[in-house]
């Protein structure tokens, strides 16, 4: 059952009368984008690569927000390119009045050029800063655009931001819209493979947010044949149902409404407020806010309006229904939001975001708009659903009682704690520095490793807090029980900033909080428990980028007088290959050529890169024969798909070939053909008739093979080399064997020691490997996808045994380096 509020009459927010060449205003040029791409898209790794897609999709969603588009299709191609197509009005193609080129070229080659800077073109727009599709053009090897407009299809092509074809009519059409297809540039990006799951999650989120506007999004991956049709006419209701799917709800119906609100200051300005909420038996609130489809992680005025409305409305209900004996002791806003799952989305003209990242909405008038709309419609819901209302209020009252018990527990902790008298917990070895930005505290697993860390640290800026055993799983505990746990008390006392609503970043004693545990199962469990605690009760530490995970070394390697601690297998291969060069010889028997000096060094580096890519080409569950894959390289193409039918391995260049093979296999089995393509498949690998997978890092692997061929290596038809070191000789006959032989020969010159626990290292080794800022590896804990993080903590750390078992069984084959 759903509660809907009728939409007020009037024009849909964002509809406009004019969108032509004159709507495009130019602010600056495009020269700097390729020089400093990270300034515009964040980085040139996975995040920046996918950001290109978001920029183009956002343009299509702006058309939908303006009421001119209802479909968006995203296609991932086998050559690594991406296409985004909509049925909007089409980017204007007329000559721009000041630029001397078509408006289409202006949009694609000038920064800060677009209709969103002209209030007459878009009343509602997500892409405020407008670097948009011009950045995509600048950072693409090539980009093509087709505009359906005026009964004709118009086409242009660009390469690395420069136009290479004029605007040309290439056909007739009976509809309008824009299609942009681009291929990210391998000169810019370190990773070129588009991740289907990342794209799918983002588009699904967008489909929820635009669902009540009738927007439909299609995603097709031509590399695998996977496709999704994303259409959610119930909008945010479906969004909340999805995030609560694995939680126990207090009321079955989801509160959901959309309301148009006219600005009290300007009758010509309208706001749209959409809210969906449902309460669960969880102890945490899960609230996400959006403004013009932008995820406002930092909240803002719209979120403040929502919180104020919920508190005021529920308190009024409590008083009117006389649900508490003492009307002066009412639940707080935090109490009323315990267990709340809510999605708030506002659409507004001229959004003011704080910061280039659009993290926090700053429009002051929005707070009153949201508070008024939510207060009115949520009051109606409570009156019409007394059973649900009382369940929510009773939970808040229990939360208030637990909060009061927690307050008393905190006071008891403070009285008992040495911190209250100006000292620190006895187990904490504090540092001398009081400078927040220089000081750091290590949370160390076990007293033994804690002792070594205390002796090995730099006392000037490093503090150490040893933790005994596994801390409480806070996902299953209310605040009062959590505060009774001694190790959690120690952490709270040591950090000094408080938790939950009492959290005060100004009181934080250390700039970095670093979790340091063993690289085994128990260490991973302790790290997960600590991360759960910080995620649920000190979330601001994560948001501020002050929580880290130390990476103890996996190996200690020694070559002659050189010693080094290594944290990854790829780093080990790099070190071994560099150190073993002195005694390594590679001789190409077919070409009668010896590789020496810088040429040998460069060859070994390229072989190492090739081997790293080859290792990443096949997921751990697939067991793809990598030699067989490389044997099918023909100088230009490399198979994109692999399949195993229980007896033979098969490789295919296209998904169509793979599908034909699967169709043939269906005729060979009785009943349904079981195909395993990864953890999301409908069967397990052991029960599958056919196992298939996509070759990962495909474009990069092709580039690496091309580079090796340019160096003179014979990769097709088999080669023959002699690889010698001081301790032996090998005769590889293909490039895979050569890469492995070069590494193995070099490895014979290096002494390798494998580590499993912190306790295996003395104080000096622990400092040198894990605590020395000049040499250590730290991973900063961040949260790109808070919704996914909340879901995974719920699955793995709550009482839901069945969903946890299902998750573990589904992902078991992805595990690597399991230490049992």
The residues carrying an active-site annotation are 445, 518, 520, 522
- Quote the longest CA-to-CA distance of the chain: 95
Inter-residue contact 378 to 313 (CB < 8 Å): yes
- 118 HSE (CA, 13 A, CB side): 17
SS3 content of the chain, % helix, strand, coil (to 5): 40, 20, 40
- Which residue is it, tokens 């002051």? 364
Rounded CA-CA distance 726/745 in Å is: 8
CB-based contacts of 324-332 (< 8 A; 24+ apart in sequence): 324/397, 329/400, 330/400, 331/393, 331/396, 331/397, 331/399, 331/400, 332/400, 332/403, 332/501
Inter-residue contact 93 to 86 (CB < 8 Å): no
Q: Is the dihedral of CA 319, 323, 325, 329 positive or negative?
A: negative
List residues bridging with 272 in a β-sheet: 260, 347
- 313 HSE (CA, 13 A, CB side): 22
Of 533, 522, 410, the C-alpha closest to 476 is: 533
For 673, counting Cβ atoms within 10 Å of its Cβ (0-12 exposed, 13-18 middle, 19+ buried), the class is middle
Pairing of strands 177-184, 593-595: unpaired
**3-state per-residue secondary structure call for 540-570:** HHHHCCCEEEECCCCEEEEECCEEEEECCHH
Tokens of 36: 């400093």
Of 740, 741, 735, the C-alpha closest to 708 is: 735
Of 550, 544, 567, the C-alpha closest to 782 is: 544
- Which residue is it, tokens 């296409």? 83
Pairing of strands 140-149, 728-730: unpaired
Rounded CA-CA distance 336/503 in Å is: 19
Nearest 5°: the CA angle 63, 65, 71 is: 60
b/e burial code for range 425-459 (CB count within 10 A of at least 16 → b): bebbbbbebeeeeebbbbbbbbeebbbbbbebbee
- Which residue is it, tokens 């007293």? 447
Pairing of strands 168-172, 152-159: antiparallel
Locate the DSSP E strands across 281-323. Answer: 286-291, 294-295
Q: Is the dihedral of CA 536, 537, 543, 546 positive or negative?
A: negative
b/e burial code for range 544-576 (CB count within 10 A of at least 16 → b): eebbbbbbbbbbbbebeeeebbbbeeebbbbbb
Residues in CB range of 386: below 8 A, 6 or more apart:
none
């Amino acid at each position: 059952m759903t509660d809907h509020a009728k939409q007020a009459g009037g024009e849909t927010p964002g509809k406009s009368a004019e969108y032509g060449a004159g709507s495009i205003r130019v602010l600056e040029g495009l020269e700097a984008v390729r020089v400093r791409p990270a300034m515009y898209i964040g980085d040139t790794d996975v995040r920046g690569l996918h950001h290109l897609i978001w920029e183009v999709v956002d343009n299509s969603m702006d058309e939908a927000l303006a009421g001119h588009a209802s479909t968006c299709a995203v296609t991932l191609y086998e050559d690594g390119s991406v296409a985004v197509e909509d049925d909007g009005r089409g980017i204007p193609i007329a000559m721009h009045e000041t630029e001397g080129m078509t408006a289409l070229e202006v949009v694609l080659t000038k920064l800060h050029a677009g209709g969103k800077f002209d209030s007459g073109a878009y009343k509602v727009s997500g892409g405020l800063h407008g670097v948009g599709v011009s950045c995509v053009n600048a950072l693409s090897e090539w980009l093509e655009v087709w505009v359906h407009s005026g009964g004709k299809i118009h086409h242009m092509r660009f390469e690395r931001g420069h136009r290479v074809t004029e605007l040309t009519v290439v056909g007739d059409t009976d509809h309008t819209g824009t299609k942009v297809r681009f291929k990210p540039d391998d000169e810019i990006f370190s990773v070129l493979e588009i991740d289907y799951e990342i794209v799918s999650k983002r588009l699904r989120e967008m489909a929820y947010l635009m669902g009540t506007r009738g927007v439909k999004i299609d995603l097709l991956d031509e590399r695998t044949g996977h496709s999704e049709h994303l259409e959610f006419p119930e909008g945010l209701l479906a969004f909340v149902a999805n995030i609560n799917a694995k939680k126990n709800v207090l009321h079955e119906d989801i509160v959901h409404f959309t309301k148009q609100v006219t600005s009290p200051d300007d009758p010509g300005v309208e706001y749209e407020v959409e809210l969906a909420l449902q309460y669960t038996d969880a102890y945490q609130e899960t609230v996400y806010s959006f403004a013009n489809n932008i995820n406002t992680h930092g909240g803002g005025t719209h979120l403040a309006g929502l919180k104020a409305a919920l508190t005021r409305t529920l308190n009024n209900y409590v008083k009117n229904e006389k649900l508490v004996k003492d009307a002066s002791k009412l639940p707080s806003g935090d109490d009323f939001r315990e267990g709340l799952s809510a999605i708030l989305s506002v659409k507004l003209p001229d959004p003011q975001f704080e910061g280039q990242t659009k993290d926090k909405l700053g429009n002051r008038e929005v707070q009153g708009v949201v508070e008024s709309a939510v207060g009115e419609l949520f009051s109606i819901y409570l009156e019409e659903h007394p059973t649900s209302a009382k369940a929510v209020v009773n939970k808040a009252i229990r939360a208030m009682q637990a909060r009061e018990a927690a307050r008393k527990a905190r006071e008891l902790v403070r009285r008992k704690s040495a911190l209250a008298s100006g000292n620190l917990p006895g187990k904490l070895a504090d540092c001398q520095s009081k400078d927040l930005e220089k000081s750091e505290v290590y949370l160390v697993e076990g007293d033994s490793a804690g002792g070594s860390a205390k002796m090995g640290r730099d006392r000037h800026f490093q503090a150490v807090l040893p933790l005994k055993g596994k801390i409480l799983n806070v996902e299953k505990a209310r605040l009062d029980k959590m505060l009774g746990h001694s190790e959690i008390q120690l952490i709270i006392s040591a950090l000094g900033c408080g938790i939950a609503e009492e959290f005060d970043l100004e009181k934080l004693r250390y700039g970095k909080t670093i979790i340091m545990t063993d690289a085994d199962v128990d260490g991973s469990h302790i790290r997960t428990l600590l991360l759960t605690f910080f995620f649920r009760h000190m979330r601001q530490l994560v948001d501020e980028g002050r929580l880290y995970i130390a990476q103890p070394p996996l190996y200690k390697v020694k070559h002659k007088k050189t010693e080094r601690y290594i944290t990854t297998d790829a780093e080990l291969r790099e070190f071994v290959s560099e150190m073993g060069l002195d005694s390594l010889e590679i001789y190409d028997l077919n070409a009668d050529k010896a590789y020496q000096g810088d040429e040998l060094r460069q060859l070994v580096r390229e072989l190492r890169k090739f081997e790293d890519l080859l290792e990443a080409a096949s997921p751990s569950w697939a067991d793809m024969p990598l030699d067989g894959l490389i044997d099918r390289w023909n100088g230009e193409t490399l198979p994109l798909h692999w399949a195993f039918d229980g007896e033979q391995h098969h490789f295919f260049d296209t998904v169509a070939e793979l599908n034909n093979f699967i169709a043939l296999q269906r005729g060979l089995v009785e009943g349904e053909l079981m195909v395993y393509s990864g953890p999301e498949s409908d069967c397990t690998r052991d029960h599958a008739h056919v196992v298939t997978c996509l070759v990962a890092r495909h474009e990069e692997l092709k580039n690496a093979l091309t580079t090796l061929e340019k160096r003179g290596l014979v990769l097709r038809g088999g080669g023959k080399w002699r690889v010698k070191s001081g301790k032996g000789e090998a005769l590889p006959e293909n490039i895979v064997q050569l890469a492995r032989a070069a590494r193995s020969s070099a490895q014979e010159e290096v002494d390798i020691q494998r580590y499993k626990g912190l306790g295996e290292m003395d104080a000096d080794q622990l400092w040198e490997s894990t605590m020395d800022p000049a040499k250590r590896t730290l991973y900063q804990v961040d949260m790109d996808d808070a919704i996914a993080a909340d879901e995974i903590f719920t699955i793995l750390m709550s009482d839901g045994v069945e969903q946890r078992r299902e998750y573990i069984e589904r992902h078991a084959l992805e595990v690597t380096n399991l230490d049992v």
